[in-house]
């Protein structure tokens, strides 16, 4: 039976979970996969952490050069996170001819082209299933499951922290800041939650997923991004009245030619949409292929064992496949010059504004919308007998730039006190 040596760089939450899976399932993989996966080295500055997991002291190292020069190591697993020193460590492994498995979405999103160039030079494998959507096998699905299709769109809830926060706000009517504190206590959110709540984490993942789905390099800077920090419970409740659920969505659209639309932002979706029932820290990706139609993948988007499951899946794949696959597109720092990234995308919009309770206000608002060819689907006017009232409306599909210009003009109307929220409506 073939024995394949594995090194793990970092024994944090995900690294420890990965080690436990490899250790506890070693015999199972021998029987079912015909390969013996042996952890031959770990890079961990906290030696006691490694010893507590039962790792032999002789296999614990604090030197990357020692790890990548080990002749017993065939596959290097990077679970350190961030850009450096992870990037230098991964490049060292690839330059040594070792295949690499990584869960590092930021590193992979920003430097995929550089890592792949290094891998090609030594014919090393480069695997990254765990970089997107935790234990959900979305990358393998795109690479090995949907090749027969031109993927027309993907829509995902791909950040568990924001989904947990929005679920709690919707379910309990709790304030954003209050729920964020709870999420931090439970370990769902970091002490500095910026990467999650401002949409950076989802943007990293969308850059990777849309590149794979649409066979074109989609750099991070081409992903439009908004977070959830300005979302209020009022908006969620008004959305419910109109039959909508609020989610932070990652959206990619492909016209089948050379135009791609990629954006991350809060959005209302109909309560009967498949993604509307994805709650708490769960993730899901909803794909549309030209041949297969609709496909949805759902599961845990983070955590030690879910992410470890994706990592070990890649380790097994690398250990049992001699042929190495790379990107299906020209993987360079800059995207193909023929690719057009759509910025004036089309959507419907939920708009909440506060106005003085006077006759003619709605007529003035409608007049502004008419000027920009925007029509209204639904409208709710709240309050009676008070000087200032909230007005909520949903538009028909229109262009982003037209909507922004209309909002600017509405804010200038004398009897409009404030434009409080503008949220896209999808699906």
Same structural domain for residues 160 and 280? yes
Domain-embedded: residue 76: yes
Rg (CA), the chain: 24
For the ranges 34-43, 382-391, 399-408, the lowest mean pLDDT is seen at: 382-391
Closest CA to 5 of 85, 91, 70: 70
Residues 198-256 have pLDDT tens digits of 999 999 999 999 999 999 999 999 999 999 999 999 999 999 999 999 999 999 999 87
The Cα 423–Cα 348 span in angstroms is 9
How many secondary structure helices (H) and strands (E) does the chain include?
15, 18
Same structural domain for residues 370 and 238? no
Domain-embedded: residue 319: no
Structure tokens at 308: 């470890």
Domain-embedded: residue 274: yes
Residue 382 confidence (pLDDT): 74
Strands 151-157, 282-289: parallel, antiparallel or unpaired by DSSP? antiparallel
Number of domains forming the structure of the chain: 3
Residue 399 confidence (pLDDT): 96
Residue 202 confidence (pLDDT): 98
The Cα 305–Cα 297 span in angstroms is 18
Strands 259-270, 244-254: parallel, antiparallel or unpaired by DSSP? antiparallel
Is 343:404 a contact under the CB 8 Å cutoff? no
Same structural domain for residues 33 and 93? yes
Same structural domain for residues 195 and 291? yes
Chain position carrying tokens 């024994």: 11
Domain-embedded: residue 380: yes
The Cα 202–Cα 263 span in angstroms is 9
Residue 383 confidence (pLDDT) above 80: no
- Please give the sequence-ordered ranges of beta strands (E in DSSP) within 203-311, or none if there are none: 224-225, 244-254, 259-270, 282-289, 293-300
Domain-embedded: residue 333: no
Q: CATH number, domain at 242?
A: 3.30.360.10
Is 77:104 a contact under the CB 8 Å cutoff? no
Residues 179-205 have pLDDT tens digits of 999 989 888 888 899 999 999 999 999
Residue 384 confidence (pLDDT) above 70: no
Residue 385 confidence (pLDDT): 61
> For the chain, what is the mean pLDDT?
95
- For residue 293, the enclosing domain spans 138-300
Size of the chain, expressed as the number of residues it contains: 427
Domain-embedded: residue 241: yes
Same structural domain for residues 145 and 163? yes
Question: Which of the four pLDDT bands, split at 50, 70 and 90, describes residue 100?
Answer: very high
Query: What is the DSSP secondary-structure string of 388-426?
Result: EEEEEEEEPSEEHHHHHHHHHHHHTSTTEEEEEEEEEEE
Catalytic residues: 205
Same structural domain for residues 267 and 366? no
Same structural domain for residues 154 and 292? yes
pTM for this entry? 0.95
Is 56:24 a contact under the CB 8 Å cutoff? no
Same structural domain for residues 6 and 111? yes
Q: CATH number, domain at 68?
A: 3.40.50.720
Residues 254-298 have pLDDT tens digits of 987 889 999 999 999 999 999 999 999 999 999 999 999 999 999
Same structural domain for residues 126 and 206? no
Q: Mark which of 107, 131, 155 sits at the end of a domain.
A: 131
Strands 376-381, 340-341: parallel, antiparallel or unpaired by DSSP? unpaired
Q: CATH number, domain at 363?
A: 3.30.70.260
Structure tokens at 424: 């896209």
Q: How far is CA 418 from CA 276, 334, 408, in A?
A: 30, 41, 11
Same structural domain for residues 284 and 360? no
Half-sphere exposure of 178 (CA within 13 A, CB side): 10
Question: Which of the four pLDDT bands, split at 50, 70 and 90, describes residue 426?
Answer: very high
Residues 63-96 have pLDDT tens digits of 999 999 999 999 999 999 999 999 999 999 999 9
Residues 292-339 have pLDDT tens digits of 999 999 999 888 899 999 999 999 999 999 899 999 999 999 998 999
Domain-embedded: residue 332: no
Same structural domain for residues 179 and 262? yes
The Cα 213–Cα 140 span in angstroms is 11
Same structural domain for residues 181 and 101? no
Is 161:189 a contact under the CB 8 Å cutoff? yes
């Amino acid at each position: 039976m073939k024995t394949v040596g594995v090194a793990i760089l970092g024994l944090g939450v995900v690294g420890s979970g990965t080690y436990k899976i490899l250790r506890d399932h070693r015999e199972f993989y021998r029987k079912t996969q015909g390969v013996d996966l042996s952890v031959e080295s770990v890079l961990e500055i906290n030696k006691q952490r490694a010893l507590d997991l039962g790792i032999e002291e002789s296999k614990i190292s604090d030197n990357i050069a020692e790890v990548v020069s080990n002749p017993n190591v065939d596959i290097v697993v990077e679970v350190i996170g961030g850009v450096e020193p992870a990037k230098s460590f991964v490049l060292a492994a690839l330059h040594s001819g070792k295949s690499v498995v990584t869960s590092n979405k930021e590193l992979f999103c920003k430097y995929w082209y550089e890592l792949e160039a290094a891998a090609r030079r030594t014919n090393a494998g480069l695997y990254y299933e765990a970089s997107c959507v935790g234990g959900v096998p979305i990358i393998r699905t795109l690479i090995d499951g949907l090749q027969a299709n031109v993927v027309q769109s993907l829509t995902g809830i791909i950040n568990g922290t924001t989904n947990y926060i929005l679920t709690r706000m919707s379910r309990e009517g709790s304030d954003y800041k209050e729920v964020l504190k709870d999420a931090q206590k439970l370990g769902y959110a970091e002490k500095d939650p910026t990467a999650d709540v401002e949409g950076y984490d989802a943007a990293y993942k969308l850059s990777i997923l849309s590149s794979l789905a649409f066979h074109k390099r989609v750099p991070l800077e081409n992903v439009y991004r908004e977070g959830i920090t300005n979302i209020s419970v009022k908006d969620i409740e008004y959305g419910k009245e109109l039959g909508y659920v609020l989610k932070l969505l990652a959206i990619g659209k492909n016209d089948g030619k050379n135009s791609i639309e990629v954006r991350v932002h809060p959005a209302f979706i109909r309560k009967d949409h498949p993604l509307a029932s994805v709650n708490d820290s769960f993730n899901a990706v909803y794909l549309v292929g030209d041949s297969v139609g609709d496909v949805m993948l759902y599961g845990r988007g983070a955590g030690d064992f879910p992410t470890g499951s994706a990592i070990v899946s890649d380790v097994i794949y690398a250990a049992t496949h001699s042929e190495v696959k790379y990107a299906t597109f020209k993987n360079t720092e800059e995207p193909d010059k023929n690719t057009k990234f759509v910025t004036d995308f089309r959507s419907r919009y939920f708009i909440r504004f506060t106005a003085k309770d006077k006759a003619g206000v709605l007529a003035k608002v409608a007049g502004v919308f008419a000027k920009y060819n925007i029509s209204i689907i639904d409208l709710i006017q709240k309050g009676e007998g008070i000087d200032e009232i909230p007005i909520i409306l949903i538009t028909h599909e229109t262009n982003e730039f037209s909507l922004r210009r209309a909002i600017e003009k509405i804010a200038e109307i004398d009897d409009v006190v404030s434009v409080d929220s503008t949220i896209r409506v999808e699906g």
